[in-house]
């Protein structure tokens, strides 16, 4: 069966070598990566199977990584992964959502112990949506002679600088994002139910752009209105859009699991002065932040530039960060969960890094978002979408 790879085998091998070098620095012999975004990045694996235990094992002793998952999903690994079939392991069905039998017991016994790795330094992704406390407990119980280390988002950090092909995919996602926002702007009006607008968002997102079909995003459309916009992560219902309310739309196109989120705000009717002032603040803050978004500067430089502008406008963002890295991901998040655009983060910016730059404003009874996904280039920041950066009034 010929694997359908979104990248060359050479690129996957380079990624594995990069991760192994980081493992050696941290004295890790064996790494278990259970984040589906990391699995995809390391091997090409892509499937809606992350509701069961699955992952990728990298050992310093072996050239190729090992995929493990439900036996039913092994064919997906054959179709999607670049490795040889002998490095694809499917655990029996009796381990699927069984309170008595756990997949990590099987993995410890049938992969790690049989490979002779049961006494080595083993790292797991402890602070990860897809690695449960029970999984860790069962793995430790099965491997009593191993030393366990927190991988601490090792693979996530390795993903930070994007390759030429990854950037190409993210730019396609960015084009899908701007097409979605244009569709929203075309159809939203007073009286139309939010659920109808979201149906159009999904249709446009999956239809894609320029012959490139879209994928499902890792976060559903966020579009709170009026007082609800003071909360940054409310989704939608069937209520109609109303006059004298602002709604921000935080949306991302997705292509081959790569994202390029962007937010814009629409006000129904004549906006109050506070919204016009917020628009100016956000526009100036984004411009100031983009000026700092260049190789050699730090993530805090972007955040401090934003904070200076917000302070000038008398806006308190309650120390909220103003962005985070983005790339390949699965629900429930399109962020890479490494550094942040915040005053306390000293991560040095490098060419090829990508961020959702979002100095949103959330106040007691209203909110407003104007955001951009950006790429750090040798000449500074480049936005991944091209859409008017303003408050829209309808």
Indicate if the pLDDT at residue 59 is higher than 90: yes
Q: Give the confidence band of 373 by pLDDT, cuts at 50, 70, 90.
A: very high
Q: What is the pLDDT of residue 1?
A: 60
Just give the CATH number of 164-393: 3.90.230.10
Q: What is the pLDDT of residue 2?
A: 64
Q: Which of 371, 344, 372 is nearest to 360 (CA)?
A: 371
Give the global pTM: 0.96
Tell me the pLDDT of the chain averaged across its residues. Answer: 97
Give domain limits for the chain. Answer: 9-158, 164-393
Q: Give the confidence band of 4 by pLDDT, cuts at 50, 70, 90.
A: confident
Just give the CATH number of 9-158: 3.40.350.10
């Amino acid at each position: 069966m010929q694997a359908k790879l979104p990248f060359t085998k050479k690129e996957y091998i380079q990624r594995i070598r990069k991760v192994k070098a980081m493992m050696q620095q941290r004295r890790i012999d064996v790494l278990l990566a259970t984040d589906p975004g990391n699995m995809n990045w390391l091997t090409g694996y892509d499937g809606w199977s992350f509701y069961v235990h699955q992952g990728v094992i990298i050992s310093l002793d072996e050239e190729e990584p090992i995929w493990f998952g439900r036996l039913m999903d092994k064919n997906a690994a054959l179709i999607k992964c670049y490795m040889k079939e002998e490095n694809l392991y499917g655990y029996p069905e009796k381990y699927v959502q069984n309170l008595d039998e756990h997949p990590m017991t099987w993995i410890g016994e049938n992969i790690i112990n049989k490979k002779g790795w049961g006494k080595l330094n083993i790292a797991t992704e402890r602070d990860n949506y897809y690695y449960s406390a029970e999984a860790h407990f069962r793995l430790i119980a099965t491997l009593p002679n191993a030393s366990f280390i927190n991988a601490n988002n090792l693979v996530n950090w390795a993903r930070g600088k994007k390759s030429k092909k990854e950037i190409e995919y993210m730019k396609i996602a960015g084009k899908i994002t701007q097409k979605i926002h244009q569709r929203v702007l075309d159809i939203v009006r007073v009286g139309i139910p939010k659920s109808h607008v979201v149906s159009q968002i999904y249709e446009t997102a999956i239809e894609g752009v320029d012959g490139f079909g879209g994928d499902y995003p890792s976060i559903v459309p966020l579009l709170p209105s009026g007082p609800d916009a003071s909360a940054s992560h409310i989704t939608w219902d069937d209520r109609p859009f109303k006059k004298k309310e602002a709604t921000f739309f935080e949306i991302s196109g997705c292509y081959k699991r790569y994202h390029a989120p962007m937010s814009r705000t629409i006000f129904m009717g004549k906006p109050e002065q506070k919204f016009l002032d917020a628009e100016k603040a956000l526009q100036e803050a984004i411009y100031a932040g983009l000026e700092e978004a260049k190789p050699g500067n730090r993530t805090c430089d972007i955040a401090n530039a934003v904070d200076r502008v917000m302070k000038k406008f008398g806006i308190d963002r309650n120390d909220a960060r103003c962005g985070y890295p983005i790339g390949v991901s699965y629900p429930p998040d399109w962020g890479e969960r490494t550094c942040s655009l915040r005053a306390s983060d000293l991560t040095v910016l490098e060419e090829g890094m990508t961020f959702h730059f979002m100095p949103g404003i959330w106040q007691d009874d209203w909110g407003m978002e104007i955001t951009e996904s950006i790429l750090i280039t040798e000449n500074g920041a480049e936005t991944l979408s091209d859409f008017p950066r303003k408050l829209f009034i309808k």
